[in-house]
Structure 1
Amino acid sequence: MEVVLANFEHLEEISKLFDHYRMFYNQSSDLESARAFLKDRLQKMDSTVFVAYDRDRMAGFTQLYPSFSSVSMKRIWILNDLFVEEAYRKQGVAKLLMSAAENFARETGAIRIILSTQVSNLAAQSLYESLGYIQSKDFYHYAYQLLRK
């Protein structure tokens, strides 16, 4: 298994995985929009995507978005997406992707990586906790929905 930084050469394969990721979260399949969304991220360089390959087959990806801590005046990376194809789950692919994200964050001088997951996603929670991520007890996280379905 190899983890690499994604670029335009990976767009078609990542788009398919991204579409599967969205369907995992109960969204309708929309490969064309997934491709357009990821193409826009790559063109604007406003996210960083790592992909895991098993020989010539893409097994999973993670996507990070940059942010900053005003208090510490340091970079933060938001690990917004992590997905592994079902056939590759429980084989260490997610850990490899998380390790790539951590190495990248360290290389870019970040103070931390933050992430969130659904309350019902116990597998993800178990993974994150096994890697040393701690559920925040100091802050409540709120969201204001601008677009309504």
Structure 2
Amino acid sequence: MIRIKRITIAEINEVAPLFDGYRVFYKMESDLVAAAEFLKNRIAKEESIIFAAYENNKAVGFTQLYYTFSSVSLQKSLILNDLYVDANYRKQSIGEQLLLKAQEFCKKNTYKRLALETAIDNPAQKLYEKLGWEKDFHAFHYFWQVK
């Protein structure tokens, strides 16, 4: 049975290997120490919320939410920045359970919305839409990067 819980600094080392795997999936070099330190800093500075999915006390997936704000509505919002399930545990609705936990947290804490960005060819889009996420067709996203 899968159990979803918000992690604390004490549980960082349980989730860090998943976060490292997530980064490797996106073509970054593995660095477990840096991954753990990054997560530790996000939680210590109250910059993110991390939910982990556990099966038999083993972390098998996670999602990380970041805080943001809407100046127009004068409300807080969340960005679902990271979502990852260990390859050995996929196709078991763990990603769906993590998404539902994020939505529940958003509602419970009266945030305006929860946003995410995904690749155009990501098959998870069907899951997002099934859970009530709406595709944005009226805006473009631009990024500027320091070089």
Q: TM-score range by the shorter chain?
A: over 0.9
Residue in 2 aligned with 1:5?
6
Structure 1: runs of 5 or more not aligned: none
Residue in 1 aligned with 2:133?
133
Moved over 4 A (4+): none
Once the two structures are superposed, the pairs formed by residues 1-149 of structure 1 within 5 Å of their partners are 1-122=2-123, 124-146=124-146, 148=147
* Residues in 2 aligned to 1:43 and 1:67: alpha-carbon distance in whole angstroms: 17
* Residues in 2 aligned to 1:2 and 1:75: alpha-carbon distance in whole angstroms: 27
Structure 2: runs of 5 or more not aligned: none
Alpha carbon RMSD of aligned pairs, Å?
1.0
* 1:17 CA drift (Å): 0.4
Which string of whole-angstrom CA distances, capped at 9 and with x for unpartnered residues, describes residues 39-88 of structure 1?
A: 10011011000000011111100000011111111111000000000111
Q: Identity of paired residues, percent?
A: 40
* Residues in 2 aligned to 1:87 and 1:49: alpha-carbon distance in whole angstroms: 21
* 1:134 CA drift (Å): 1.3
* 1:120 CA drift (Å): 2.8
What TM-score does the superposition give when structure 1 sets the normalisation length? 0.94
* Residues in 2 aligned to 1:119 and 1:10: alpha-carbon distance in whole angstroms: 33
* Residues in 2 aligned to 1:84 and 1:126: alpha-carbon distance in whole angstroms: 17
Equivalences, count: 146
* Residues in 2 aligned to 1:145 and 1:118: alpha-carbon distance in whole angstroms: 19
* 1:11 CA drift (Å): 0.7
What TM-score does the superposition give when structure 2 sets the normalisation length? 0.95
